[in-house]
């Protein structure tokens, strides 16, 4: 495992678990890993809240009080049935931390990555959990799309700002969908955050803008078709226009 980035440290746990943790939460994560995986621990906390996506993530408070979301990493797409939650070591988690730090330094709203932990899963393979700071009071874009109305208009405005920041950073998110855009209500307007950045890669600004927009519009169209979300062609055109202005 490569050296942790500045502000993070390596923590070892039972069963050859390895974690890279932000310094301020190192003791809390270490205490959990002495007995079990982070995701298993979170699943048994009395005050946990389930967040459904690719598998179940848990919103919990770490020992010491930091509110976090604990996600178990899984493959999607064609590999899901074959490899499930097993990745070639060291897994995607170190790359996700690197990308998260890069995006934040570039002005993109993405939740702070508190820690990741990896666990043996056979020769050359490991499983991983990722811990990110919880964005309080936030909803994903999919849930706002189901409501429609003025809230959806405001959400699209904020999402356009997020897409612009991703384009300026040259960050292409190949899995950008309505569940990976989080909207925090700030009263007069939303603030949009991007999630699940482990597959984000650097490209030029135009390619990032077009690719992210195309992927998100496709996701919104599927949400309309499959869920009956009140998303109109005008909504999609509004989002496209916001990106084209960047």
Predicted confidence at residue 57, as pLDDT, reads 95
Q: Is the dihedral of CA 124, 26, 23, 11 positive or negative?
A: negative
pLDDT of residue 67: 97
Stated pTM of the model: 0.92
Closest CA to 231 of 218, 242, 244, 220: 220
Return all residues near 195 (Cβ < 8 A) that are at least 6 apart: 110, 111, 179, 180, 181, 182
117 token code pair: 């932990």
* Domains parsed from the chain with CATH numbers: 8-133 (no CATH), 138-244 (1.10.510.10)
pLDDT tens-digit readout, 134-191: 999 899 999 999 988 889 999 999 999 999 999 999 999 999 999 999 999 876 789 9
Q: Which residues contact 17 (CB under 8 A, 6 or more apart)?
A: 33, 37, 117, 118, 119
Residue 246: pLDDT above 60?
no
- Is residue 79 predicted with pLDDT exceeding 70? no
Tokens of 183: 């909207």
């Amino acid at each position: 495992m490569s050296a942790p980035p500045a502000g993070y440290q390596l923590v070892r746990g039972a069963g050859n678990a390895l974690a890279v943790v932000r310094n301020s939460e190192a003791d809390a994560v270490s205490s959990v890993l002495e007995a079990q995986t982070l995701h298993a621990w979170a699943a048994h906390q009395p005050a946990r809240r389930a967040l459904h996506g690719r598998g179940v993530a848990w919103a919990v408070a770490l020992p010491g009080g930091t509110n976090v979301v604990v996600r178990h990493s899984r493959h999607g797409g064609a590999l899901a049935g074959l490899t499930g939650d097993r990745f070639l070591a060291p897994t995607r988690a170190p790359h996700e931390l690197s990308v998260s730090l890069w995006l934040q330094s570039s002005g993109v709203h993405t939740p702070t990555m508190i820690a990741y932990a990896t666990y043996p899963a056979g020769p050359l393979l490991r499983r991983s959990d990722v811990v990110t700071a919880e964005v309080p009071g936030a909803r994903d874009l999919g849930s706002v799309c189901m409501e429609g109305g003025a809230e959806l208009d405001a959400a699209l405005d904020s999402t356009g700002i997020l897409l612009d920041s991703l384009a300026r950073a040259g960050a292409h998110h190949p899995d950008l969908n309505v569940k990976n855009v989080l909207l925090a209500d700030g009263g007069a307007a939303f603030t949009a955050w991007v999630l699940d950045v482990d597959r984000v890669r650097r490209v030029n600004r135009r390619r990032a803008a077009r690719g992210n927009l195309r992927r998100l519009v496709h996701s919104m169209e599927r949400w309309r078709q499959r869920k009956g979300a009140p998303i109109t062609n005008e909504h999609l055109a509004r989002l496209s226009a916001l990106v084209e202005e960047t």
